[in-house]
Amino acid sequence: MKVNSMDNLFQQLNEVLIISFYVLLIVGPLLIAVAFLTYLERKVIAAVQYRKGPNVVGMFGLLQPFADGVKLFSKETIIPASANKIIFVLAPMISFALSLVAWSVIPISENLVLANINVGILYIFAISSLSIYGVIMAGWASNSKYAFLGALRSTAQMVSYEVSIGFVIVCVLLCVGSLNLQDIVLAQKNYWFFIPLFPMFIVFIISALAETNRAPFDLPEDESALVAGYFTEYSSMLFAMFFLGEYSAMILMSSLGVILFLGGWLPPFDYYVFNLVPGFIWFFLKVGILLFIFLWVRATLPRFRYDQLMRLGWKVFLPLSLFWVFITATVLVFFDILPNFYG
């Protein structure tokens, strides 16, 4: 009996170790991808503006992100005297950790997923809502006017666009009939959802820009008005963690867009040659395209004014996506083409 329970314990410990290894297998490449995304961003914007971009550290400047990382890491961590110290330190940690945690349910290909839970999309929705806490805690704890105003704007913007993202997800769910991310991808076997739900795809992309505080919706960090927004008072690694969190959230939003609208790991056409390419390559290719759009938009468009931003969220996207939920449900019900997963 005693031996048995010991065996059992070892087995469970072994399982935990294996899972931890898989987790590191996701987090490691993700952080490297984030590092190179910052490099890619500078290169893409440089190319748009007919400059060269970083090209000194390493070949083609490829080691630039690591040089930046080391620099940030070895800087002094300044915690303002008037700040609430514990919340101040906790805020970037929450931002960073939450942007990683959502990755546990993302299916990279048919069999490559860490946790295949049946409410995957709800989990991602919940985690992305939680990331607002990092912002508001940072703004409050800093006890600085710029940080406070930046955090207020940022949270108001994020919650506004989250509503439209919710409606967009409901539209997709109506066409799938399941909350599981694998099911959502497999339901797009015949055609990807961005074809029938094209307006919602556009709403999703633009809301994703606003949700991750990216240009042209990067008002919270409007340099000319609010310095650096909610992370004005941050320095060193605490600042870097906000930065990493933002870029990792960008990759996450792109992956979500690929899963919801661009057929996840499925090849664009069901030909033999396309099927030879492993699924995760298609997945990363599509994520790369969406990420490029993020960077391209930043290099091209001027920043919105705050009232324009709120008007777009509440007066355009909210009615439009609500209306589209109505349209999708009506078409599916009256043409009797509802998906039936549990019947």
Partner 1 sequence: MNYTEYLPIFIFIVIAFSMSLGFALLSGFVGPNKPDKEKLSAYECGFEPFEDARVKFDVRFYLVAILFIIFDLEVAFLFPWAISLSLIGLTGYFSMMLFLLILTVGFIYEWKKGALDWE
Q: Please check whether residue 92 is in contact with residue 242, taking contact to mean a CB–CB distance below 8 angstroms.
A: yes
Tokens found for residue 150: 């930046």
With residue 125 as reference, give the H or E element that holds it: helix 120-142
The answer to the question of residue 13 lying near partner 1 (CB under 8 A) is no
Of the two residues 67 and 89, which places its CB atom closer to partner 1 in the complex?
A: 89
Contact set for partner 1, span 170-189 (CB under 8 A): 170, 173-174, 176-179
Instruction: Go through the chain and tell me how many residues it has.
Output: 343
Contact set for partner 1, span 208-237 (CB under 8 A): 227, 232-233, 236-237
Contact set for partner 1, span 107-126 (CB under 8 A): 114-117, 122-123
Minimum Å gap between C-beta 278 and partner 1 is 22
How many residues lie near partner 1 (CB under 8 A)?
95
Q: Which of 113, 92, 105, 164 lies closest to 320, judged by CA? A: 164
Minimum Å gap between C-beta 337 and partner 1 is 10
Give the whole-angstrom CA distance, residue 201 versus residue 142.
37
In the list 293, 297, 299, 310, the residue contacting partner 1 (rule: CB under 8 A) is 310
Of the two residues 44 and 149, which places its CB atom closer to partner 1 in the complex?
A: 149
Of the two residues 51 and 145, which places its CB atom closer to partner 1 in the complex?
A: 145
How many other CB atoms are found less than 10 A from the CB of residue 96? Answer: 23
Q: Please check whether residue 183 is in contact with residue 260, taking contact to mean a CB–CB distance below 8 angstroms.
A: no
In the shown chain, the binding pattern of residues 231 to 270 toward partner 1, with x for contact by CB under 8 A and - for none, equals: -xx--xxx-xx-----------------------------
Q: Which of 107, 144, 105, 153 lies closest to 127, judged by CA? A: 105
Minimum Å gap between C-beta 297 and partner 1 is 23
**Given the structure tokens 């499925």, which residue do they identify?**
266
Contact set for partner 1, span 288-307 (CB under 8 A): 306-307
Rounded to the nearest angstrom, the gap between the alpha carbon of residue 246 and the centroid of all alpha carbons in its chain is: 8
In the list 9, 25, 32, 333, the residue contacting partner 1 (rule: CB under 8 A) is 333
Give the whole-angstrom CA distance, residue 164 versus residue 321.
6
Query: Could you tell me where the beta strands, DSSP code E, fall in 164-230?
Result: none
Minimum Å gap between C-beta 38 and partner 1 is 16
Contact set for partner 1, span 37-96 (CB under 8 A): 72-83, 89, 92-94, 96
Minimum Å gap between C-beta 83 and partner 1 is 8
Minimum Å gap between C-beta 201 and partner 1 is 17
Kindly give, in sequence order, each residue whose CB lies less than 8 Å from that of residue 148, ignoring residues fewer than 6 positions away. Answer: 139, 140, 142
Give the whole-angstrom CA distance, residue 219 versus residue 133.
18
In the shown chain, the binding pattern of residues 143 to 162 toward partner 1, with x for contact by CB under 8 A and - for none, equals: xxxxxxx--x--xx--xx-x
